[in-house]
Amino acid sequence: MKRNDDTQVDVQLSREEIRRYGRHLLMPEVGLEGQKKLKASSVLLVGAGGLGSPLGLYLAAAGLGRIGIVDFDVVDSSNLQRQILHSSEDVGKPKLQSARKRIQGINPDVEVATYETRLTSENALEILQEFDVIVDGTDNFPTRYLVNDACVLLGKPNVYGSIFRFDGQASVFYAREGPCYRCLYPEPPPAGLVPSCAEGGVLGVLPGIVGTIQANETIKVLLGIGEPLVGRLLLFDALKMQFRELKLRKNLSCQMCGEHPTITHLIDYEAFCGINPPPTDDERSGEFEMTVEELKKRLDEKNDVFVLDVREPHEYEIVNLGGHLIPLNDLPARVHELDSSREIVVHCHHGPRSQRATEFLVQLGFKKVKNLMGGIDEWAAKIDQSMVRY
């Protein structure tokens, strides 16, 4: 891959910069010209979380000219296990604020551009076009497809990384030279079928490893050296400490980057991924749903309520409501343990798993089953603050 190759880079390095980047300058693959290219380059990080953290730190240290970050979250204490851009003192503050502080602490010469917004079909092209390389460190399918499509439309390389539990994936999607994300996965899974990290967990070091691989690929793409992961999907298994590589080929009938693309502008990615808009308060008081306040009232009034916990046993060990434990995956085989004549309130950690369990039970003919909205976490936040949250 060649970028910026024939263009003489019109920046200079100061005496201090030559000293700072000395270890880069010693290598002919980077050298003075390469370091100037980095200084003239710009990279956009979509997400300042697990993957964005090592990316931000290493790209700043490497002497990138400009780093853009798109994020709209605030730092939560449960982020600190892996999101090393942020510190304990940053809890409750916008991630962009701590990211900027850390990056400028490492390298004050880097210009940091922050976008406190959700990346949307309306703003993506405008934001992405300001940068040479886009790095995808998001946590959801709609944004991944949005980033991919916007990169294809703008002709920009998309340095991809994704993680789940102990597994990581990385690639470089660059439609001008190889496949795009849609060549690999033409369609996303329906909402709810694949657990997210918030549900499935993730080893804290894993985004560190995958994010630094993305940083490595970003620098190679910017310098036009080596063999970036174009047309290859790198798989990493942290438990086995094993890397594997799969071939990715351009799909000639890809809707986005194939010979006759049918997608020529950004679409509604939430709808594409089957995600409905969040329910309004009226809709939330649905037939098969219950609020934590309502459950508290029922229990206080000693109503007959059977609490069903569909989390995993190791989660039950952390904290529980004393409910009957049947992990979601075991529910079909153990449904005989439930008495359909009793009122059953199903809960999990935050709600998605218990919603699936509720839908499953309703399909089986259970009439008096309700999903506890917000799960045990909402109970701990609103009803019993002495309970631990995880």
Partner 1 sequence: MPTKVLIPSPLRGYTEKQETLLLEGESIDELLLQLTTKYPALKKHLFSEDGQLRKFVNVYVNDEDIRHLQKEQTRVSPKDVVSIIPSIAGGKR
Which residues lie near partner 1 (CB under 8 A)? 47-52, 71, 73, 79, 136-141, 144, 161-167, 169, 184-189, 193-198, 200, 202, 207, 210, 233, 235, 244-249, 251, 329, 332
CB 3 within 8 A of CB 224: yes
Cα dihedral angle (388, 198, 203, 52), rounded to 10 degrees? -120
Which residues, 6+ apart, have CB-to-CB distance to 287 below 8 Å? Answer: none
CB 157 within 8 A of CB 151: yes
Is the CB of 99 or the CB of 376 nearer to partner 1? 99
Q: How many CA atoms lie within 13 A of 67 on its CB side?
A: 35
Residue 231 tokens, joined: 């047309």
Is the CB of 273 or the CB of 380 nearer to partner 1? 273
Q: Catalytic residue among 151, 180, 257, 348, which? A: 348
- The stretches of the chain forming alpha helices (DSSP H) are 15-20, 22-25, 31-39, 52-62, 95-106, 124-128, 141-154, 181-184, 197-200, 205-223, 269-272, 281-284, 292-300, 313-318, 331-334, 352-363, 375-382
Rounded-to-integer distance, Cα 145 and Cα 125, Å:
13
Min CB(252)–partner 1 separation in Å: 11
CA angle 93, 95, 98 (to 5 degrees): 80
Strand partners, 305: 343
Min CB(136)–partner 1 separation in Å: 7
Min CB(172)–partner 1 separation in Å: 15
Is the CB of 165 or the CB of 298 nearer to partner 1? 165
Residue 183 catalytic? no
Is the CB of 24 or the CB of 144 nearer to partner 1? 144
Residue 13 tokens, joined: 């390095």
Q: Catalytic residue among 180, 183, 197, 254, which? A: 197
Min CB(47)–partner 1 separation in Å: 4
Min CB(8)–partner 1 separation in Å: 36
Residue 197 catalytic? yes
Is the CB of 4 or the CB of 251 nearer to partner 1? 251
Closest CA to 58 of 267, 214, 231: 214
Min CB(339)–partner 1 separation in Å: 24
Is the CB of 206 or the CB of 223 nearer to partner 1? 206
The DSSP code for 328 is G
Closest CA to 95 of 206, 103, 218: 103
Which residues belong to the active site?
A: 197, 348
